[in-house]
Structure 1
Amino acid sequence: MVDFGRVQKELQECSRDMEASGIKIAPVSDNLVHLSGTIPGPIGTPYEGGTFHLDIKLPDGYPFEPPKMHFVTKVWHPNISSQSGAICLDILKDQWSPALTLKTALLSVQALLSAPEPDDPQDAVVAQQYLRDYQTFKGTARYWTENFAKTSSLGVEEKVQKLMEMGFPESLVRSALEAVGGDENMALEKLCSS
């Protein structure tokens, strides 16, 4: 059974340090087993300036079992699946300890953004690019950060409006944007090719 008292305490501690760390955790539902986490992209990395959202589910055995986390925000990184957002990080698997908290887990994920482990990849394609052509990797990671992790980019409604002005029907525009994670250019390509 999840220790809800502990989860409450962890959420309070995290919100107290939010100014300093930039890390946020909030319940998605009333039952505290489904949470949403936010980490800022580390400074000096291609992820700088981005805000990354993670989905967190607590197993019944928490804190004796690790939380299940994956990125909701698309991210280009050797240890994070560009498709599913799955994270390859030892403390989220066999190196978890009940002494760790949700905040330390998110700090570890943030540290992973700064220090990829391409030899133990979650996404082989990204890892190969990281190892063989670091400049292209950096450019792609920065591009994904700009497109998916920047909150200042155009809102969904503005994108829908813009694409509808080009003559596409609203329902198609919305489904195209949804299919490509809100990337306006990719949505336009999809609309033009359908």
Structure 2
Amino acid sequence: MDAVSRRLMKELHDFQRDPTGHPDILELRPVDDDDLLNWKAVMRGALDTAYEGGVFELQIIVPTAYPIQPPTVKFVTTICHPNVHFKTGEICLDILKTAWSPAWTLQSTLLAISLLLAHPEPGSPLNCDAANLLRCGDVEGYNSLVRMYTEMHAMDAATLLSSDDEVEVQGAGFAGVDSRAGMVSVGGWS
């Protein structure tokens, strides 16, 4: 077993030994037991954020030079965030680029991503629509947009709607968004 495999196996065992070490990380594992360089992570949306109640899948590609080089991490689940590319799921986070250190682990990287979700950096956006709302001070509008996409893509629709709720779809008109997907407003919600 090479050094990269040993390191990744240690990280996997550390996570499995204490999977509740961070409550927002629900799953962290290789996609296939025969390929330690391709991982899947599942994170819960942080409490008291517009992501709360959402469950987000991430793909982690580990380079053969890990931990000298950072992993490539991207969201598989569509997410609305200033520092995440809306279509590709690419994440703009300094530790995934220039500030990487071999001291970082996959789990600590996910913790940093979780913190980024709760504390966006609109100054270096990959999603300009979301960033512009924050730059203009429209936190309510930003949270509403984030919540809409969290409900559309990261929550089980069956748990969102009871049988007597009415659903109305309206075109949202945001750049880069298919207007047919629109905005969902649910009757009876306050």
TM-score band, normalised by shorter chain: 0.7 to 0.9
**Partner letter of residue 7 of structure 1?**
L
Distance verdict in 2 for CA 1:147–1:59, change over 3 Å = same
Question: d(CA) in 1 for partners of 2:80 and 2:147?
Answer: 8
* C-alpha distance in 2 between matches for 1:154 and 1:35: 28
Structure 2 Cα separation of the partners of residues 40 and 69 of structure 1: 16
Deviation at 1:154, TM superposition (A): 4.1
The one-letter amino acid of 2:18's match is: D
Q: What pairs up with 1:90-105 in 2 under 5 angstroms?
A: 90-105=94-109
- What corresponds to 1:59 in structure 2? 63
CA distance in 1: counterparts of 2:133 and 2:87, whole angstroms: 16
RMSD of aligned residue pairs (Cα, Å): 2.1
CA contact (8 A) 1:77 1:141 kept: yes
Deviates more, 1:21-30 or 1:75-84: 21-30
Distance of 1:52 and 1:145 partners within structure 2: 9
The alignment-based identity, stated in percent, is 38
Separation in structure 2 between the aligned mates of residue 27 and residue 35 of structure 1, nearest angstrom: 4
Match of 1:75 in 2: 79
**2:21 paired with 1:26:** no
SS, match of residue 8 in structure 2: helix
1:13 equivalent to 2:8? Answer no
Shift of 1:49: 1.2
Is 2:176 the partner of 1:143? no
- Aligned residue type for 1:141: V
Structure 2 counterpart SS, 1:104: helix
Q: Specify the alignment match of 1:173 in structure 2.
A: none
2:113 aligned partner, one-letter code: V
**Partner Cα separation in structure 2 for residue 83 and residue 31 of structure 1:** 26
What amino acid maps onto 2:22 in structure 1?
A: S
Uncovered stretches (5+) of structure 1, i.e. residues with no partner: 156-179, 188-194
Per the TM alignment, residue 143 of structure 1 is displaced from its structure 2 partner at its CA by 1.1
Q: Greater strand share, 1 or 2?
A: 2
1:186 aligned to 2:181? yes
Question: SS of the residue aligned with 1:27?
Answer: strand
User: Aligned residue for 1:122?
Assistant: 126
Task: Tell me how far 1:17 sits from its aligned partner.
Answer: 2.4
CA contact (8 A) 1:2 1:60 kept: no
Bigger proportion of residues as helix: 1
Shift of 1:16: 2.4
Instruction: Classify the secondary structure of the residue corresponding to 1:32.
Output: strand
Query: 1:113 matched to which residue of 2?
Result: 117
- The amino acid of 1:138's aligned partner reads N
Displacement of 1:186 = 2.1
Alpha-carbon deviation of 1:2?
A: 6.3
